[in-house]
Structure 1
Amino acid sequence: MSGGEVSRNADDLFAEAMKATDVLYNVRDTYFPDNPDEKASKLLGKASIALQLLDEIPSEKRKTPIQRATHEYLRGKVLDVFPEYKKEAEDHLSKAVKLNPSLVDAWLSLGNCIWKKGDLPSAKNCYTLALSKGPSKSILCQLSMLERRMAQDKSTEDQIKIVEESIKHAKEAITLDVQDGNSWYNLGNACLTSFFVTGAWDHSKLQQSLKAYQHAEKDERMKSNPDLYFNCAIVNKYLENYERALSGFEAAALRDPGLNASEEVLKIVHLLDKIESLFRTKLKRLASVAASLSTVGVNASYKRETIDGLFEGINKAIAIVGKVLFFVKHENVAPFYYVLCDSSQICYVLSVYGISNEAIKEGDQVTLLEPRYHYVDVSRERKRYQFKSVRVDFLEQVIVNGNCLSPQYAVRASIYAQNKT
C-alpha cells in the first residue's frame, strides 16, 4: 500500500470517528426507550464503534499537537457520553485543551464532564475560556444552563442576579443563530427559572418562556426533545391553559416514557374531576350565604364586583367577596385551590400562590383585591370542564374575615422547571 493510500485512509478514519461520535450523541439526545437499559446498551455499542475507529488511526497521524489534541478530544467526548462522571474522560479532554487551547469543542466537552463531577466553578471556567476564543451558541447555552444550576445553591438576591446572567447568555446565543431551536429552548428555560426565583408571580416571564418554546418548536430537530414539551406544559399549567398542558405532557410522555409526564397528566385530570365534583355538590343555604356576602363592605379604593363582572386577566382596582365552600385537595405542590361562592350565588375556583394553606379555611369569608380572572374551558375524552377561575399571588390581595393576612402566611415558591433547565 502506498503512503498516499495510508494518508487518505487515516484521514477517512478521523472523519469516520467524528461521524461515529455525532451518531453516539444523537442516540443520547433522541433515543428514549421504555426500558432505560436498552439505551445504556445502545450507547455502549455505539461508543465501542467510535473508540475502535480512533484506535485504528495510525500513530503517524497522531504526531502533531493538533492531531493529538483532536484524538484526545474525541476519545474523551466518547467516554463522557454516559450520565455519570468518568475521570478517564476528563483526563483525555484535559490533554486535548493543553495540546490545542484553541480547540473550542474540547473546552465545551471538558466543562460538561467537570460539571458531572459537581465542580461547577471549574466547569464555568471551561465555558468562559472557550468563549474567549470566539462566540459559540452551544457554549453560551451550556453556560446559561450551568448558571441556572449554580443559582439553586444561592440566596434569593444572588439567585436573581445569576439567573439574569443566564437569560443574557441565552439571548446572546439566539443572536448568533435565530433559527436554532436549542437556543430558543434554552431561553425558555431561563425565563421559566426566572419566574420561580423571583417569586412565581410575574406572568410576563411565563409568557416570554412560552414564546421562546414556540420558537424552539419551529426547528425540526427539536421535535424529538421530550423536555421541550414537558417544560412548555409546565408553563401552560401555571397559566391554567390546562388543555395545552395536557397535550404537552402527553407529547413528552410519547417521546420519553421515563419522564413523569404521564403522572402530570393524571394530576391535572384528577384536579379537574375533583373541581367538577365539588361544583355538582348540592349545597344547602347557598342563598343565605350569598345574602350575607352582600352586606360586606370593601375599601373605598376598590370597586366591588361579582365574579361575572370580571375581565380576563388582572382586574385593577376591583374587589370581589366570596365564601369558601371547599378546600380542593390535590397532588401538586402549588397552588392551593378553593371553591368559593359570591353574592350572586355563582361558584368559582380560587387558586392561591405565595400564601400558606393555613391562611384560608373552609367557611371563611374572603375579599380578593385586583384578582386575575380566567375562564377555564377544557375538553378531554368526551368530557368538558368549564368553570370561572380567580388567581391571587400576594398576601396583600387577600382579606380573610375582615382581617389582613399576617406576614407569617407568606411562602416563597421554590419550584423549578423539572428537566434539563
Structure 2
Amino acid sequence: SHGVEDAGRKQQDILEEMEKTLQQMGEIDGCSQGRARALMLKGKALNVIPDYNPKAEELLAKAVKLDPELVEAWNQLGETYWKKGDITAAHTCFSGALGHRKNKVSLQNLSMVLRQLRVESTEQHAQNVMDSVRQAKLAVQMDVRDGRSWYILGNAYLSLFFNTGQNPSISQQALSAYGQAEKVDPTASCNPDLHLNRATLHKYEENYTEALEGFSRAAALDPAWPEPRLRQQQLLDFLERLTSLLENKGKVKVKKLQSMLGSLRPSQLGPCGDGQYQGSSGQKVALEHRLLSALQPGVNTGAVVLGRVVFSLTTDEKVPFTFGLADSKGPCFAVTVYNMVQSWGVLIGDSVAIPEPHLRHHHVQHQGKSFSFPGIRVETPLLLVVNGKMQGPGTQAAATVAYRAQSE
C-alpha cells in the first residue's frame, strides 16, 4: 500500500497504528471467553513491533490461561517468547497450539524455531532442519495461496542446502519456493528478508548480478537494516579487488612471474597426470592436460589444468577461498574453493592442478558498475592437487550461512 520511498517510515507508521488501535479497543469486559479474546487482541496489537514487549507477554499469558483452546493466543505468545530469545518456550507454544488445532501459522512458526533450537550435536540440528522442511510443507499444503508459507519453505530449503552438502537440486527448490511466494502473494515482493536470503543463495551460486540486485532491493525495503547494504558493499568490493588482481596477475613482477610459470612441470599434476585420478563415476581415468585458455564453459570432462597461484583474496566471510591461477599462456583465472576448513589455503607460487574444471565466464552489471572475468568453481579442496599432492580429508568443512531468521 506504500511506495518503496516510504520504507524508512514503516516502523514509525506501525507504532502510530498500534497506539491508535489500542485506544480504539479501550477496556473490554465480559465473560471469561470474551475476556481471553480481548486480552489476546491487545497482546497481538502490542506484538506488531519487532522488539520484545513484556506487556504483550503478560496479556497473552493471561489469555491462554483463561482459554487454553485459543490457538491464536498461543501463536502470539510463542512470538513474544521468540523475540525475548526464549526459543524453547516459543517451540512449546507453537507445538501446543498444534495440539489444539492444526493451523498454518503454528506450522510456519514451528518451521522457523526448529532451525534455531539449541542442540548438542550437528546430527540433531540436521534432523531439526529436515523437520523444519516438513512443517513448512504442511503449512503450504494447508493454503497454497499463502506467500508467507512459501517464503518460509524457501528458508527451510536454504538451511537444508547448507547443512547437507549443498545439493544443487535443493538450491533450486529454495529458489522455486521464493519465486512461488512472490507469484501467489504480491506482498512477498515487499519482504526484505526474502530478498536478502535469496541473494545469499545467489551469491553462493556465483550468480553475482542477481545477488547484488537482491541485496539492493532488501536495503531499499528496510533502510534501517544495515545487513543488506553491508552485504552488497562487501560483494562489490570483492568483485572490484578480484578483477583488478586478475588483470594485473596479482601484481607479480614480470621476471618473477616468468620464473614461476617456467618452472611448471608435468610431475606437479600428481595423480591427475598418471591415470590415477578417480572420476565422479568412481573409475580411474586418464586426464588430458590443457591450458587455461583452452577450457570451454561448463565442466571440462577429461581435462586437467595446471598453473601457479599469483594471488589469494581473503574476505570477512572466509568462504569461498579465492585465488588467481596463471599458466604459461593467456590470462589469469579466478578459482573459488568452497567447503574448506578456515586453516586451509594456498600460497603465492604454489602449483595447483584442477581436474575436470568447471569454467564460467562472469559478466556482472550493477548500478553502473561492470565486472567480467573467467572463474573456475571448486566444490571442495579434496579435488585439488597442490604442489603435486592431493589434499587430505582434514581440509574439508561444511559451509554455514547466517540470515535474519527470526523475522521470516
- TM-score for both structures, normalised by structure 2: 0.84
For 2:127, which of 135, 157, 161 is the aligned residue? 161
Matching residue's letter, 2:190: S
Inter-partner Cα distance in structure 2 for 1:305 and 1:377: 27
Please state how far the C-alpha of 1:329 moved relative to its aligned partner: 3.6
Alignment-derived partner of residue 51 in structure 1: 22
Alignment-derived partner of residue 338 in structure 2: 353
Change (3 A) 1:246 1:294: same
Matching residue's letter, 1:222: A
Alignment-derived partner of residue 75 in structure 1: 42
Alignment-derived partner of residue 7 in structure 1: none
Inter-partner Cα distance in structure 2 for 1:31 and 1:96: 39
Q: Secondary structure of 2:48's partner?
A: coil
Please state how far the C-alpha of 1:272 moved relative to its aligned partner: 1.6
Alignment-derived partner of residue 205 in structure 1: 170
Query: Equivalent residues in 2 for 1:11-22 (5 A)?
Result: none
Please state how far the C-alpha of 1:275 moved relative to its aligned partner: 1.8
Query: Equivalent residues in 2 for 1:92-131 (5 A)?
Result: 92-131=59-98
Equivalent residue pairs, number: 385
Kept in 1: contact 2:7–2:220 (CA 8 A): no
Regions of 4+ moved over 6 Å: none
**Are residue 186 (structure 1) and residue 152 (structure 2) matched?**
yes
Alignment-derived partner of residue 3 in structure 1: none
Query: Equivalent residues in 2 for 1:14-413 (5 A)?
Result: 33-34=7-8, 41-57=12-28, 59=29, 62-63=30-31, 65-150=32-117, 153-199=119-165, 201-218=166-183, 219-259=185-225, 260-281=227-248, 284=254, 289-290=260-261, 292-293=263-264, 295-296=266-267, 297=269, 298=272, 299-300=274-275, 301-302=284-285, 303-306=287-290, 307-308=292-293, 310=295, 312-314=297-299, 318-342=303-327, 344-355=329-340, 356=342, 358-413=344-399
Please state how far the C-alpha of 1:292 moved relative to its aligned partner: 4.4
Q: Secondary structure of 1:149's partner?
A: coil
Kept in 2: contact 1:321–1:343 (CA 8 A): no
Alignment-derived partner of residue 281 in structure 2: none
Q: Secondary structure of 2:218's partner?
A: helix
Please state how far the C-alpha of 1:287 moved relative to its aligned partner: 6.3
| Gaps in structure 2 of 5+ consecutive residues | 276-283
Q: Secondary structure of 1:160's partner?
A: helix
Inter-partner Cα distance in structure 1 for 2:380 and 2:260: 26
Q: Secondary structure of 1:351's partner?
A: strand
Alignment-derived partner of residue 278 in structure 2: none
Please state how far the C-alpha of 1:337 moved relative to its aligned partner: 0.9
Please state how far the C-alpha of 1:40 moved relative to its aligned partner: 5.6
Inter-partner Cα distance in structure 1 for 2:322 and 2:103: 45
Q: Secondary structure of 2:324's partner?
A: strand
Inter-partner Cα distance in structure 2 for 1:318 and 1:208: 31
Please state how far the C-alpha of 1:339 moved relative to its aligned partner: 0.8
Q: Secondary structure of 1:414's partner?
A: coil
Kept in 2: contact 1:66–1:99 (CA 8 A): yes
Query: What is the root-mean-square deviation in Å for CA atoms of aligned residues?
Result: 2.8
Inter-partner Cα distance in structure 2 for 1:108 and 1:366: 55
Inter-partner Cα distance in structure 2 for 1:32 and 1:391: 40
Inter-partner Cα distance in structure 2 for 1:275 and 1:42: 42
Inter-partner Cα distance in structure 1 for 2:240 and 2:223: 25
Inter-partner Cα distance in structure 2 for 1:333 and 1:92: 45
Matching residue's letter, 1:243: T
Change (3 A) 1:225 1:209: same
Inter-partner Cα distance in structure 2 for 1:81 and 1:390: 46
| Gaps in structure 1 of 5+ consecutive residues | 1-25
Matching residue's letter, 1:129: G
| Percent pairwise identity | 35
Inter-partner Cα distance in structure 2 for 1:82 and 1:370: 52
Inter-partner Cα distance in structure 2 for 1:166 and 1:318: 41
Change (3 A) 1:190 1:366: same
Alignment-derived partner of residue 279 in structure 2: none
Q: Secondary structure of 2:266's partner?
A: coil
Kept in 2: contact 1:370–1:397 (CA 8 A): no
Change (3 A) 1:376 1:78: same
Matching residue's letter, 2:181: A
Change (3 A) 1:377 1:169: same
Matching residue's letter, 2:87: L
Alignment-derived partner of residue 15 in structure 1: none
Q: Secondary structure of 2:145's partner?
A: coil
Q: Secondary structure of 2:115's partner?
A: helix
Inter-partner Cα distance in structure 2 for 1:84 and 1:31: 24
Please state how far the C-alpha of 1:118 moved relative to its aligned partner: 3.0
Kept in 2: contact 1:196–1:413 (CA 8 A): yes
Please state how far the C-alpha of 1:222 moved relative to its aligned partner: 0.9
Of the structure 1 ranges 266-275 and 352-361, higher mean CA displacement relative to structure 2 is found in 352-361
Matching residue's letter, 1:85: Y
Kept in 1: contact 2:363–2:371 (CA 8 A): yes
